[in-house]
Amino acid sequence: MTAIRIDGKATALEVREEVRLEVAEISDADNRPGLAVILVGDDPASQIYVRSKGKACEKAGIFSETRKRPADITEEQLLKEIDELNNDPKIHGILVQLPLPKHIDEQKVIEAISPDKDVDGFHPYNVGRMMIGLSTFFPATPAGIVELLKRYKIETKGKHVVVIGRSNIVGKPIANMMVQKNETGNSLVTIVHSAAKDITPYVKQADILVAAVGRPEFITKDMLKEGVVVVDVGINRVEADTPKGYRVVGDVAYDEALEVASYITPVPGGVGPMTIAMLLKNTLKAYKQSSGK
């Protein structure tokens, strides 16, 4: 069996174009969706990601502003700035780039963002709505996974989805989304994590595997059953004889998995590009809710 490659880059471009067309249809230069991003400190990876978000917003016709703040900003100052954005009518989505410096309580920051502007989908209010199957802002990466499954017409009803990892950003949300009784879920879901002595027996049962463990090429061919759908969320740098001195790999040994999987997301070019695309979609949704469109 040779797996079908799930092209996240191409799918993300489709979603972004759909957002651009809808933004152009329902808004104008003086009244359009707005996203504010707060970047604290000078983490290189965060800076690259934030720049990518800004460029994507521009192409989609979404107003965006990035507020760069020093790493020594106080928690009180950051919370005050979030409050200002909560009350700014031209801003419909607020995103505070994580991680934050250790002296700032991330959960307090997340909860300070208005649920109506929480386009990251991390506020407990929106997490609760997701849990009970109500419309909400879904975290961008899990939403991107669901979008890929939907667009590639991969059946999820009654399928056993095994999620490796229990983070609040990927593992827990995707498990909750896949268990919902709807057309893009209705799955049987198992979450496996570091407390398991051996995850292989669980992984071997997966019809759909979501790997979000952060360990390079951790999942090997012998752990997978024939015909599994592999969704690899991992982004890991490993040393390599390349100009950069490294290469990027996922949590799944890609070349091995190709031999047994029916569908597979590559790394890079799989789930990653979908994250910003779904963030744009959430920002558009926030604008529509705010303006009653």
Q: Are residues 105 and 209 in the same domain?
A: no
3-state secondary structure of 189: strand
Predicted confidence (pLDDT) at residue 293 exceeds the cutoff of 90: no
pTM, 2 dp: 0.96
7 belongs to the catalytic site: no
pLDDT grade for 168, boundaries at 50, 70 and 90: very high
User: What mean pLDDT is predicted for residues 152-163?
Assistant: 98
In a domain, 146, yes or no: yes
Q: Are residues 156 and 41 in the same domain?
A: no
In a domain, 16, yes or no: no
Across 275-286, b (16+ Cβ under 10 Å) vs e yields bbbbbbbbbbbb
pLDDT grade for 2, boundaries at 50, 70 and 90: confident
In a domain, 46, yes or no: yes
C-alpha 224/C-alpha 209 separation (Å) is 9
Q: Are residues 154 and 91 in the same domain?
A: no
Q: Which two tokens stand for residue 236?
A: 């890991």
Q: Are residues 154 and 256 in the same domain?
A: yes
Q: What is the largest CA-CA distance in the chain?
A: 57
Q: Are residues 160 and 244 in the same domain?
A: yes
| Catalytic residue from among 97, 159, 172, 180 | 97
Q: Are residues 148 and 220 in the same domain?
A: yes
Q: What is the pLDDT of residues 218-234, one digit of tens each?
A: 999 999 999 999 999 99
Q: Are residues 181 and 229 in the same domain?
A: yes
In a domain, 124, yes or no: no
Range of the domain at 51: 28-115
pLDDT grade for 38, boundaries at 50, 70 and 90: very high
Predicted confidence (pLDDT) at residue 291 exceeds the cutoff of 90: no
53 belongs to the catalytic site: yes
C-alpha 79/C-alpha 3 separation (Å) is 47
Which of 185, 114, 93 is CA-nearest to residue 175? 185
Q: Are residues 256 and 144 in the same domain?
A: yes
Q: Are residues 83 and 40 in the same domain?
A: yes
Find the CATH number of the domain harbouring 105: 3.40.50.10860
pLDDT of residue 67: 97
Find the CATH number of the domain harbouring 167: 3.40.50.720
| Catalytic residue from among 7, 118, 120, 232 | 120
Q: Are residues 160 and 245 in the same domain?
A: yes
Q: Are residues 147 and 261 in the same domain?
A: yes
In a domain, 171, yes or no: yes
- For all residues of the chain together, what is the average pLDDT? 96
In a domain, 280, yes or no: no
Which of 215, 201, 206, 197 is CA-nearest to residue 252? 215
C-alpha 45/C-alpha 99 separation (Å) is 11
pLDDT grade for 44, boundaries at 50, 70 and 90: confident
pLDDT of residue 43: 86
User: What mean pLDDT is predicted for residues 174-188?
Assistant: 97
Q: Are residues 149 and 264 in the same domain?
A: yes
Residue ranges of E strands in the chain: 4-5, 34-40, 63-69, 93-96, 160-164, 188-192, 208-211, 229-232, 236-239, 246-249, 263-264
Strand order in the sheet with 160-164: 4-5, 263-264, 229-232, 208-211, 160-164, 188-192
Q: Which of 81, 115, 149 is the last residue of a domain?
A: 115
Number of domains the chain is built from: 2
| Catalytic residue from among 53, 159, 172, 285 | 53
Predicted confidence (pLDDT) at residue 207 exceeds the cutoff of 90: yes
User: What mean pLDDT is predicted for residues 230-251?
Assistant: 93
Q: What is the pLDDT of residues 92-151, one digit of tens each?
A: 999 999 999 999 999 999 999 999 999 999 999 999 999 999 999 999 999 999 999 999
- The sign of the dihedral angle between the CA atoms of 85, 88, 91, 93 is positive
Predicted confidence (pLDDT) at residue 163 exceeds the cutoff of 90: yes
Predicted confidence (pLDDT) at residue 1 exceeds the cutoff of 80: no
pLDDT grade for 30, boundaries at 50, 70 and 90: confident
Are 278 and 143 in contact, with CB atoms under 8 Å apart? yes
User: What mean pLDDT is predicted for residues 24-43?
Assistant: 94
